Amino acid sequence: MIQDLFSPSVQHALDIVGIFVFAISGALLAVRKNFDVFGIAVLAEVTALGGGLIRDVVIGAVPPAAFTDLGYFITPLFAALLVFFLHPEVERTQLAVNVFDAAGLGLFCVTGTTKAYDYGLGLTASAALGLATAVGGGVLRDIIANEVPSLVRWDRDLYAVPAIVGSAMVALCINYDMVNAFTSSLAVVTAFVLRLLALRYHWRAPRAWHRRSTAVEVEDVASS
Q: Cα separation of 42 and 134, whole Å?
A: 18
What is the reported pLDDT for 224?
37
pLDDT at residue 1 tops 50 = yes
| Nearest alpha carbon to residue 150 among 168, 167, 136, 130 | 136
Both ends of the chain: CA-CA distance in Å? 53
Q: Confirm if 131 and 165 have CB atoms less than 8 A apart.
A: no
What is the reported pLDDT for 222?
43
Name 39's Cβ contacts closer than 8 Å, sequence gap at least 6: 30, 33
What is the reported pLDDT for 89?
82
pLDDT tens, residue by residue, 50-90: 999 999 999 999 999 889 999 999 999 999 999 999 888 87
CA–centroid distance for 12 within its chain: 16
Average of pLDDT values for 177-194?
93
Q: Cα separation of 183 and 170, whole Å?
A: 8
* Lowest mean per-residue pLDDT among 23-27, 40-44, 78-82, 195-199: 23-27
What is the reported pLDDT for 56?
95
Q: Cα separation of 60 and 64, whole Å?
A: 9
What is the reported pLDDT for 214?
57
Name 190's Cβ contacts closer than 8 Å, sequence gap at least 6: 106, 162, 165, 166, 169
What is the reported pLDDT for 216?
53
What is the reported pLDDT for 221?
40
Average of pLDDT values for 181-207?
93
DSSP state of 63: S
Average of pLDDT values for 87-95?
79
Residue % of the chain over a pLDDT of 70: 92
pLDDT tens, residue by residue, 115-174: 999 999 999 999 999 999 999 999 999 999 999 998 888 888 999 999 999 999 999 999
What is the reported pLDDT for 68?
92
pLDDT at residue 93 tops 70 = yes
